[in-house]
């Protein structure tokens, strides 16, 4: 697998910094944003292969951000993985129907993360 | 008083009586409706609580488990490895509790989806034994896994849920059996060859008489579960197992003898009805 440029968006610092610990050890390049607004600005200026996106965030939720990104021509095909604790079957189905490519459930292990980005 | 006046009084009294009766009935109907609504509201509140509990447990568990794994994998220091592994093992228990609440919420809502797949019984039994062997060894308990000779090798139902139920039963058996005791996992076919019976037997203290009637009851808010068994958890695993076996077309049952041990058993169709 080639090295990926990954952006992690999560308002919770603990959970925002965790994927980077595992992903950098695998040789990927990881950046972090703590809000949807910050992520939009970052994505406008930087190349990105994969977005790990928390759902429950204040102001603009991950669901809304995903919606906004899918409406942009240049980001329509960006790989977006929901990074969430919403584990109910209907919640997972809702996310998959709302434009997310995959759903990665918290709590994650390094193996969950490897499988999610490798597939 | 003339007969006519008497009749008027009588009619008035009857009318009053009827009016009171109809008012009392309406009032009672309203009270019953209020009670029903309260019960439904209560059920919905419990539902919403179980669902948000799962979310609120998973979010901090992500930090606890993720960083503990990171520490565990990035040190050579034996004591740090040992302690971070303990954090991980304990948080796995908590994750199981969160998943259990989720399952229970889905079962109560009727939205639990069973999968349907063929699997090999010897593989299932072998891996269950291997999984619980470590804990049995640590506790000084002899663990046996047995399949009757004529047991079919392949079964079709939800392999994940069969495993979950047997895991729960084995967990309980190992938890309650003292050192030098025995735990036996057994599988055998029914006489007609269309069903399989699973059982887990232990040599623990048996189940207290006052607990037997409510062992599979859903009432997790019933505080007696915690009072009667302060050290032993809420018994969520048994409630879930009972529901899961029923959903797979069987019935979980037990027999127990004080001081001798307990036997939990259930029979499942070899081929579950395909949900489609």
Tell me whether residues A85 and B63 touch, CB distance under 8 A.
Answer: no
- CATH classification at residue B263: 3.30.565.10
Which residue would you say has higher pLDDT here, B43 or A44? A44
Q: Vertex B253, ends B247 and B257: CA angle to 5°?
A: 160
Residues B84 and B127 in one domain: no
| End-to-end Cα, chain A, rounded Å | 10
Out of A15, A89, A108, closest to residue B106 by CB: A89
Rg (CA), chain A: 13
| ipTM of this complex | 0.89
The answer to whether the CB of B156 falls within 8 A of the CB of B116 is yes
Q: Is residue B176 part of a domain?
A: yes
User: Dihedral (C-alpha) B108, B113, B119, B125: value to the nearest 10 degrees?
Assistant: -20
Q: Looking at residue B274, what is its pLDDT?
A: 62
Place B106 in a pLDDT band, splitting at 50, 70 and 90: confident
- Collect all residues of chain B within an 8 Å Cβ-Cβ radius of residue A90: 111
The answer to whether the CB of B210 falls within 8 A of the CB of B228 is yes
Residues B150 and B232 in one domain: yes
Residues B179 and B216 in one domain: yes
Place B55 in a pLDDT band, splitting at 50, 70 and 90: confident
> How far is it, in rounded angstroms, from Cα B27 to Cα B256?
48
Burial, A99: exposed, middle or buried (Cβ in 10 Å; 0-12, 13-18, 19+)?
Answer: middle
Around Cβ B85, how many Cβ atoms within 10 Å?
A: 14
Residues B124 and B73 in one domain: no
Residues B55 and B139 in one domain: no
Q: Give the domain-ending residue among B64, B90, B109.
A: B109
Q: Which of the residue ranges A39-53, B98-112, B143-157 would you say has the lowest mean pLDDT?
A: B98-112
Closest to A88 measured CA to CA, from B48, B244, B234: B48
Rg (CA), chain B: 27
Chain B residues with CB under 8 Å of a chain A CB are 51, 54-56, 58-59, 61-67, 69-70, 73, 91, 95, 99, 102, 105-106, 111, 113
Around Cβ A69, how many Cβ atoms within 10 Å?
A: 21
Residues B103 and B27 in one domain: yes
Q: Looking at residue B113, what is its pLDDT?
A: 83
Q: Is residue B1 part of a domain?
A: no
Average pLDDT of span A61-82? 95
φ/ψ (deg, to 5) at A52: -100, 115
Range of the domain at B181: 117-269
Place A7 in a pLDDT band, splitting at 50, 70 and 90: very high
Does position B1 have pLDDT exceeding 70, yes or no?
Answer: no
Residues B84 and B180 in one domain: no
Residues B77 and B203 in one domain: no
Q: Is residue B3 part of a domain?
A: no
Query: Side-chain half-sphere of A51: how many Cα atoms within 13 Å?
Result: 32
Kindly provide the residue ranges of all beta strands, DSSP E only, lying in B133-189, ordered along the sequence: 142-147, 154-157, 182-189
Average pLDDT of span A54-73? 95
Instruction: Check whether the bond before B123 is cis (ω within 30° of 0).
Output: no
Count up the domains in chain B and report the number: 2
CATH architecture of the domain with residue range A5-118: 3-Layer(aba) Sandwich (3.40)
Tell me whether residues A109 and B59 touch, CB distance under 8 A.
Answer: no
> How far is it, in rounded angstroms, from Cα B165 to Cα B243?
10
Out of A21, A86, A110, closest to residue B55 by CB: A86
Tell me whether residues A14 and B63 touch, CB distance under 8 A.
Answer: yes
Average pLDDT of span B218-224? 55
Out of A15, A21, A90, closest to residue B62 by CB: A15
Q: Give the domain-ending residue among B85, B109, B133.
A: B109
- Collect all residues of chain B within an 8 Å Cβ-Cβ radius of residue A109: 65-66, 69
Tell me whether residues B58 and A110 touch, CB distance under 8 A.
Answer: no
Does position B145 have pLDDT exceeding 70, yes or no?
Answer: yes
Tell me whether residues A15 and B59 touch, CB distance under 8 A.
Answer: yes
Q: Is residue B6 part of a domain?
A: no
Out of B51, B61, B70, closest to residue A107 by CB: B61
What residues does each domain of chain A span?
5-118
Which residue would you say has higher pLDDT here, A41 or B105? A41
Q: Looking at residue B230, what is its pLDDT?
A: 42
Does position B128 have pLDDT exceeding 80, yes or no?
Answer: yes
The answer to whether the CB of B64 falls within 8 A of the CB of B58 is no
Shortest alpha-carbon distance between residue B62 and chain A (Å) = 4
Residues B174 and B262 in one domain: yes
Q: Give the domain-ending residue among B109, B143, B170.
A: B109
Does position B7 have pLDDT exceeding 90, yes or no?
Answer: no
Average pLDDT of span B85-110? 84
Residues B45 and B172 in one domain: no
Q: What is the pLDDT of residues A12-60, one digit of tens each?
A: 999 999 999 999 999 999 999 999 999 999 999 999 999 999 999 999 9
C-alpha distances (whole Å) from B51 to each of B55, B58, B236 are 7, 11, 15
Instruction: Say what the pTM is.
Output: 0.69
């Amino acid at each position: 697998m080639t090295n990926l440029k990954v952006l992690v968006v999560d308002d919770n610092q603990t959970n925002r910094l965790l994927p980077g610990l595992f992903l950098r050890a695998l040789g990927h390049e990881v950046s972090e944003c703590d809000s949807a607004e910050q992520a939009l600005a970052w994505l406008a200026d930087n190349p990105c292969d994969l977005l790990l996106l928390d759902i429950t965030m204040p102001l603009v939720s991950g669901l809304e951000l995903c919606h906004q990104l899918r409406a942009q021509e240049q980001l329509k095909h960006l790989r977006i993985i929901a990074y969430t604790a919403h584990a109910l079957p209907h919640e997972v189905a809702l996310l998959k129907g709302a434009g997310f490519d995959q759903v990665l459930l918290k709590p994650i292990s390094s193996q969950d993360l490897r499988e999610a980005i490798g597939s | 008083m003339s007969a006519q006046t008497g009749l008027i009084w009588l009619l008035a009294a009857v009318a009053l009586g009827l009016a009171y009766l109809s008012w009392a009935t309406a009032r009672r109907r309203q009270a019953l409706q209020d009670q029903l609504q309260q019960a439904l509201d209560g059920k919905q509140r419990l539902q919403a609580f179980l669902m948000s509990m799962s979310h609120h447990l998973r979010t901090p568990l992500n930090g606890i488990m993720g960083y503990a794994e990171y520490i565990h994998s990035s040190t050579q220091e034996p004591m740090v490895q040992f302690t971070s592994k303990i954090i991980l093992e304990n948080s796995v228990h908590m994750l199981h509790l969160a998943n259990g609440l989720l399952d229970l919420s889905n079962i109560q809502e009727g939205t639990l989806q069973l999968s349907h797949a063929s699997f090999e019984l010897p593989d299932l039994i072998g891996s269950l034994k291997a999984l619980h062997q470590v804990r049995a060894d640590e506790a000084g308990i002899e663990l046996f896994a047995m399949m009757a000779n004529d047991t079919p090798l392949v079964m079709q139902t939800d392999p994940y849920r069969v495993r979950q139920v047997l895991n729960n039963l084995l967990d309980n058996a190992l938890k309650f059996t003292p050192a030098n005791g025995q735990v036996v996992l057994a599988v055998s076919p029914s006489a007609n060859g269309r069903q399989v019976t699973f059982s887990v037997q232990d040599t623990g203290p048996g189940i207290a008489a006052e607990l037997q009637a409510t062992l599979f009851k859903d009432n997790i808010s019933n505080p007696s579960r915690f009072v009667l068994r302060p050290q032993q958890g809420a018994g969520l695993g048994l409630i879930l197992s009972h529901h899961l076996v029923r959903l797979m077309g069987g019935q979980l049952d037990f027999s127990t003898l004080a001081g001798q041990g307990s036997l939990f058993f259930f029979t499942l169709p070899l081929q579950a009805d395909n949900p489609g």
